[in-house]
Amino acid sequence: MDKKYDIEDLCERFKDEDKVALARLITLIENEPDSALEIFQHLDDIEHESYIIGLTGSPGVGKSTLTGQLVKRLVEKDMKVGVISVDPTSPFSGGAFLGDRVRLSEISCHPNVFMRSLASRGYKGGISRAVFDISLLYEAFGMDVIIIETVGVGQAEFEIYKLVYTTILILIPGAGDSIQAQKAGIIEIADIYDINKKDLGGDEVAVQIEMMLDDATATQSGWRPPVIMTNSIKGEGVDELLERIWEHKEYVELSDLFEEKKKRRYAYKVKDAIMNKIESILLNNLFNEEDLKDIGSKIVNNKFKIHEKIHNIFENVHFDIKKE
């Protein structure tokens, strides 16, 4: 089949709310990022805005279980929900849902729910490149709420806040995580703190976060991030979490923040695309794999010269960058 016709046809079916077409378009964008250009040319007459929520936290804190609980409640309110899990483990196969009260596999079959799991393979440990485009597809598909789950390792947990309107940081009982969060500066990006696995304790973490916030709020205005506790297996505290999310949404939407957050979201994508382009231009034109190997072989018996070599490379390359 002619590829051009294929994308157009998929987009027509997508507009008829065909989930199979949505799934195909996501796969296309994942495998061939450049196809986004044509795809969104077919969708640019759609007017729809989704509310985008980010869930982040260390591996295993319960992000996927909590996502399942949130999705269940949103669907009960007749909302359409799109989930993106940037996750080393699939939410469908993980042990998290076996025997739990919320079965993600059941929820994901609901007509108003669409879930996609992506491998984390972002630029320099950042968020996977396809995340933005998939969230844009979800918006075009008419999702009321989009949930992006990122595992809080490396840069991803910092960058998620640039793509979403409400950032939720999930911690678990045990002091280590919250101290790490403070050190890493995550304290500044979370709009809501959730201490999950409250069946295992966690009061001390809540106290620590509140104390950190007491110190930090002097410089902030308007929103003091609430600290709540959940047991995402039993669903305890999840209604409260959802209430806090709606409160934050209202706070964002009633202030200039919504506009600012949207601008930041699009700026993030544009920067990411620029970096991507520059990287591929340089690697394709100046230093391909062979060139790099060649440079490597020249240094192999002379390793302390590596910085001299790098210095010389930049001495001999003339960047002639113009903007028209």
Assess 64 for contact with Mg ion (CB under 5 A).
yes
Bridge partners, 115 (sequence order) = 83
Q: Least distance from C-beta 163 to ligand GTP, angstroms?
A: 18
Q: Looking at beta carbons only, is 135 or 232 nearer to ligand GTP?
A: 232
CB of 297 to Mg ion, least distance (A): 42
Residue 125 found at the interface with ligand GTP (CB under 6 A): no
Please state the three-class secondary structure of the chain as a single string. Answer: CCHHHHHHHHHHHHHCCCHHHHHHHHHHHHHCCCHHHHHHHHHCCCCCCCEEEEEEECCCCCHHHHHHHHHHHHHHCCCCEEEEEECCCCCCCCHHHCCCCCCHHHHHCCCCEEEEEECCCCHHHCCCCHHHHHHHHHHHHCCCEEEEEEECCCCHHHHHHHCCCEEEEEECCCHHHHHHHHHHCHHHCCCEEEECCHHHCCHHHHHHHHHHHHHHHHHCCCCCCCEEECECCCCECHHHHHHHHHHHHHHHHCCCHHHHHHHHHHHHHHHHHHHHHHHHHHHHHCCCHHHHHHHHHHHCCCHHHHHHHHHHHHHHCCCCCCCC
The CB-of-149 to Mg ion minimum distance in angstroms stands at: 6
Please select the residue that binds ligand GTP; options are 63, 72, 129, 265, rule is CB under 6 A: 63
Q: Is 128 in the site for ligand GTP (CB under 6 A)?
A: no
185 near ligand GTP, rule: CB under 6 A: no
Q: Which residue is nearest to Mg ion (CB)?
A: 64
Q: Which is nearer to Mg ion, 107 or 252 (CB)?
A: 107
Is residue 62 within the footprint of ligand GTP (CB under 6 A)? yes
Largest Cα span, the chain = 66
| Segment lying near ligand GTP (by CB under 6 A), choices 17-25, 54-62, 220-228, 256-264 | 54-62
Looking at beta carbons only, is 28 or 148 nearer to ligand GTP? 148
Which of residues 21, 61, 187, 189 is near ligand GTP by CB under 6 A? 61
Partner that binds at residue 167, options ligand GTP, Mg ion, none, CB closer than 5 to 8 Å by kind = none
Name the segment binding ligand GTP (CB under 6 A); options: 41-49, 73-81, 90-98, 257-265. 90-98
Does 176 engage in binding with ligand GTP (CB under 6 A)?
no
**Are the C-beta atoms of 126 and 155 separated by less than 8 Å?**
yes
Residues of span 77-136 touching Mg ion by CB under 5 A:
87
Work out how close the CB of 55 gets to ligand GTP at its nearest, in angstroms, rounded to a whole number: 8
What minimum distance in Å lies between the beta carbon of 203 and ligand GTP? 15
Q: Which of 129, 162, 197, 265 touches ligand GTP (CB under 6 A)?
A: 197
83 bridge partner residues: 115, 147
- From the list 61-69, 172-180, 200-208, 309-317, the region that binds Mg ion by CB under 5 A is 61-69
Q: What residue type is assigned to position 65 of the chain? A: T
Rounded Cα distance between 60 and 169, Å, is: 13
Give the residues lining the site for Mg ion (CB under 5 A).
63-64, 87
Site residues (vs ligand GTP, CB under 6 A): 57, 59-65, 87, 89, 94-96, 151, 196-197, 199-200, 231-233
